[in-house]
Amino acid sequence: MPLESAIEVSNLTKYYGDLCAVDHVNFEVKKGEIFGFLGPNGAGKTTTIRMLTGISIPTEGTANIMGYDIQRHPIKAKEQMGIVPDVSNVYNELSAWDNLIFTGKLYDMPKTSRESRAEELLKMFGLYERRKEKVQGFSRGMKRRICIAMALMNRSGILFLDEPTSGLDVQSVLIIRDLIRNLNQQGLTIFLTTHNIDEASQMCDRVAIINHGKIVAIDTPEKLKRTLESLQSIEVAFETAPPNALKELEKLAEVSEVVKEGDKFRFFTRDPPTVLDSLWKYSQDNNLKLTTVNTVGPSLEDVFVKLTGIRPATAEEESGKSGRSEEQEMVHRRRKQ
Amino acid sequence: MMNAHSSHYSREIRVAWAIAVKDMRTYYTKPPSLMFGILFPFSLFLSFSIGTKAPLAAQIPILVSQTLFFASSSIGPVVIPTERANQTFDRFLTSPVSLLSILMGKTLAGIIYGAGISVIPVLVGMAFFGFQIISLGALFACFLLSSLAFSALGIMFASIPGQTPGQVMMPLNFVRIPLLFISGVYTPIRDLPTWMQAVSMLSPLTHTVELARYASGGETFFGPILNVTILTIYVATFLLMGIRFHIMNQRKE
C-alpha cells in the first residue's frame, strides 16, 4: 500500500532544562500538501522544525519522514528532505555555483547530475549569469533564492521552509510564493512555518496553530474560520459619523463588539442580518448616510488571535514591510473579503 | 549486505572529504586561522630561540612540533563557531551524513593545515640549514599522529557552544600554552624534576617533540614506541570525546 503521509509526528516533545518548548505535539502531513505551521514568536515552530530535520534531538516522541524515523534512520530520512531555514545559511565565501555543487556533494550526487541540476536551478532562479560571483555580494532576496535552490538540489519529496519570506522585499516575496506553489504543483510536499497569517491563508492546504508548545488547532484555513462563527462581522462607513457613534452603536441588538477601524466601524456578531436591520434603523433615525456596508467572515488572523490571545503583525504593518502599494493593498483586502 | 556497507562507508568518506575541501577553501586564509595557526607558533618560536646557542637545525624539531600543535588545533575552533554563527553547521546536520563524517571532515581540514604548514620548516631546514632526516618513518608518524591528535583536540574544544572563534580559542589556549612548558619544548625533559617528568609524559606535545627529535637523530627521553603509543591513545580519546560532546550539544539544541 503506498505511503500517504509525508510526515508523521507523534508525541514530539522538547525540554530545555525545565522549560517545555514543544509539548507532546501530534500531527500528520499528507503527501503533496502545503502544510502551514503557524504560531507567534517563541511558540515552538522552529524547535519543531529543528527536530523534524535532525538538527535537534527530541526529548520524547517520534517523527517519521516518508516512513523513516528521523532518530532511527536519520540518513534515509534526511535524503527525503530539503531545508530552507529562517536564516539564509549560504556559504558567503563561495560562489553561487560552488554553493550548489557543495550541496550536491553533501547528498553524494554524481558529478554530472549535480552539475546539470545546479545549472537547471540557477537558470530557474535567474542567477545563472551570476553563478561565478561570491554569494557575499548578493542581496538578501538573491541569497534566499540560492538557499532554496540548495534545498532543491537533491530532488527531495519534502521541502521544509522556515519563514521563507520573512524580511524580503515584495518582489522576492512574490517570486518565492509563486515558486512554492509551482513546486507543490509538481508534487513536492511543503512544510511551511510562518507567523504571517496572510501567507498561511493564501498558500496552505492545512494549517496547524501552535502556541506555548502545544497545537491548539489543525485544519484547513476555511474550516478554521468557520469554527469561529461568533467572529462574523459587518463593516460599515457613514458619510459623516456623529462623535458619540461608537457608544451608541455598541447598544445595538446582537452586537458583541464594535471596533472603529479608520473611518469604518466593524461590528462583531453571531447574527449579521439582525445587526444590519438595526444599523439601517439607526442610520434612518439619525439621518446618517451609509457609504459602505460589507459583511466579513472571520479571517485566519481572527482564529489565530482567538486561539493564541496574541495579535500578530497587522496587514498594514505587513504591507509596510513588504512595500505593497495602497492600490495593491486594496486589491489584497478585497480578495481577503 | 557487504556491498551496502562498503558503499555506505565510501559515501561517508566522500562527503567527509568534500567538507574538508570546502573548509580548506573557506577558512585557511581567515585571520584567526593565520593568527593562531601560523603567526602564534612562529612568534613563540622566535621569542624563545633568538639568543640560544643551539644551531638552527637542532631547533627545527621544536618549530615543527609547535606548528603541528597550534595549526592543527586551530582549524576546528575557527570553523565550527563561525559556522554555528552563520547557521551553516546546521546544513551538515540536516544532510544525509553522520555526525562522525562531519567531524572527520573538519578534523581532516585541521590535519592538512597543520601538516602542510609544518612541512615548510622541514624543507627549509633541509635546503638551507643542514637539517637531516634520519628516520622518515618517525617523521611520518610524528606528522600523522600529532596533526590528527591536535586537530581532534581542536574539534573537541569547538563543542563549546560559542559563536566566535575567540570563545573557543580562549579556553583552548588555557590548555595549549601551559603544555609548552611541560613538554620538553624549551627545557629538556631530563632536566625536569621527576614529578614534572611524569606530568610531561601525559602531555601529547611531549611525544610530538620527541618523535620530531628522534626523526632528525636527536635524543629522546621516552623513546619512539611510547611516543607513538601515547599519541595514538590521545587520537582515540580526543576523537571519541569530541563526538560525544557534539552529540551532547545536539541534545541541548
Could you report the per-residue pLDDT of A324-335, keeping only the tens digit for each? Answer: 333 333 334 433
| CB pair distance less than 8 Å for A91 and B88 | yes
- By the CB < 8 Å criterion, does A89 face chain B? yes
Query: What are the backbone angles phi and psi of residue A270, rounded to the nearest 5°?
Result: -90, -15
Checking if the pLDDT of A286 tops 90, the result is no
C-alpha cell at A138: 548578493
Contact residues, chain B, for A57 at CB < 8 Å: 250-251, 253
Number of structural domains chain B divides into:
1
CA B160 to chain A, closest CA, distance in angstroms equals 16
Mean pLDDT within B19-40: 90
| CB pair distance less than 8 Å for A89 and B88 | yes
Minimum-distance CB partner of A55 among B19, B26, B253: B253
**What's the pLDDT tens digit per position in A248-269?**
888 887 888 888 888 888 888 8
Candidates A50, A95, A107, A108, partner chain B, best to mutate (most B CBs within 10 A): A108
Q: Which of A16-30, A83-97, A277-291, B63-77 has the lowest mean pLDDT?
A: A277-291
**What's the pLDDT tens digit per position in B184-218?**
887 888 888 889 889 999 999 999 999 999 999 88
Checking if the pLDDT of B107 tops 90, the result is yes
**Torsion A106-A109-A115-A120 (CA) sign:** negative
Beta bridge partners of A294: A235
Burial A284-304 (b: 16+ CB within 10 A, else e): eeeebeeeeeeebbbbbbbbb
Contact residues, chain A, for B95 at CB < 8 Å: 78, 106-107
Q: Which residue do the cell numbers 482567538 mark?
A: A306
Mean pLDDT within A15-39: 92
pLDDT of residue A295: 79
Minimum-distance CB partner of A78 among B87, B90, B96: B96
DSSP A137: G
Checking if the pLDDT of A293 tops 90, the result is no
Checking if the pLDDT of A1 tops 80, the result is no
Confidence of residue A311 (pLDDT cuts 50, 70, 90): low
Please give the Cα distance from A45 to A34 (Å, whole number). Answer: 16
CA angle (A75 as vertex; A71, A78 as ends), nearest 5: 85
- Say if strands A34-38 and A19-30 run parallel, antiparallel, or are unpaired: unpaired
C-alpha cell at A182: 509551482
Contact residues, chain A, for B31 at CB < 8 Å: none
Using a 10 angstrom Cβ sphere, with 0-12 exposed, 13-18 middle and 19 or more buried, the burial of residue B65 is: buried
Q: How many CB atoms lie within 10 A of CB B51?
A: 6
| CB pair distance less than 8 Å for B26 and A94 | yes
Can you list the alpha helix ranges (DSSP code H) found in chain B? 2-27, 31-34, 40-49, 56-86, 88-93, 99-128, 136-157, 165-182, 194-202, 204-215, 224-252
pLDDT of residue A257: 83
Question: Domain residues of chain A, as ranges?
Answer: 5-220, 226-336
**What's the pLDDT tens digit per position in B129-175?**
888 899 999 999 999 999 999 999 999 999 998 889 989 999 999 99
Residues contacting B36, CB < 8 A, separation 6+: B70, B74, B77, B78, B165, B169
**What's the pLDDT tens digit per position in A177-189?**
888 999 999 999 9
Contact residues, chain B, for A92 at CB < 8 Å: 86
The dotted CATH code for A5-220 is: 3.40.50.300
| CB pair distance less than 8 Å for A108 and B96 | yes
Q: Render A310-331 in DSSP notation, one character per residue.
A: -----HHHHHHHHT--HHHHHH
| Contacts with A, B 29-88, CB within 8 Å | 86-88
Mean pLDDT within A292-303: 77
Confidence of residue B74 (pLDDT cuts 50, 70, 90): very high
Pick from B38, B26, B107: which is nearest to B67 by CA?
B38
pLDDT of residue A274: 87
Helix (H, G, I), strand (E, B) or coil at A217: strand
| CB pair distance less than 8 Å for A75 and B92 | no
pLDDT of residue A321: 41
Model ipTM value: 0.87
Mean pLDDT within A121-147: 91
Please give the Cα distance from A305 to A290 (Å, whole number). Answer: 29
pLDDT of residue B3: 60
Contact residues, chain B, for A55 at CB < 8 Å: 90, 93-94, 250, 253
| CB pair distance less than 8 Å for B18 and A16 | no
Q: Which of A17-31, A245-259, B62-76, B84-98 has the lowest mean pLDDT?
A: A245-259
* In contact, B117 and B39? CB cutoff 8 Å: no
pLDDT of residue B6: 64
Tell me which chain A residue has its CA closest to the CA of residue B251. A57
Pick from B124, B114, B113: which is nearest to B60 by CA?
B124
Q: What is the mean pLDDT of chain B?
A: 90
Which residue range(s) make up the domain with B14? 2-252
pLDDT of residue A119: 96
* In contact, A72 and A85? CB cutoff 8 Å: no
Helix (H, G, I), strand (E, B) or coil at A244: coil
Q: Render A24-63 in DSSP notation, one character per residue.
A: EEEEEEETT-EEEEE--TTSSHHHHHHHHTTSS--SEEEE
Minimum-distance CB partner of A108 among B14, B86, B90: B14
Cα dihedral A64, A68, A72, A78, rounded to 10, equals -90
Please give the Cα distance from A280 to B112 (Å, whole number). Answer: 83
Tell me which chain B residue has its CA closest to the CA of residue A91. B88
Mean pLDDT within B71-75: 94
pLDDT of residue B5: 62
Residue type, A76: K
Pick from A182, A179, A204, A178: which is nearest to A193 by CA?
A204
Q: Which residue do the cell numbers 627529535 mark?
A: B213
| Contacts with B, A 183-212, CB within 8 Å | none
Checking if the pLDDT of A71 tops 90, the result is yes
- By the CB < 8 Å criterion, does B25 face chain A? yes
User: Looking at per-residue confidence, does A332 or A13 come out higher?
Assistant: A13
Beta bridge partners of A159: A82, A190
Give the CATH fold of the A226-336 domain. Answer: Alpha-Beta Plaits (3.30.70)
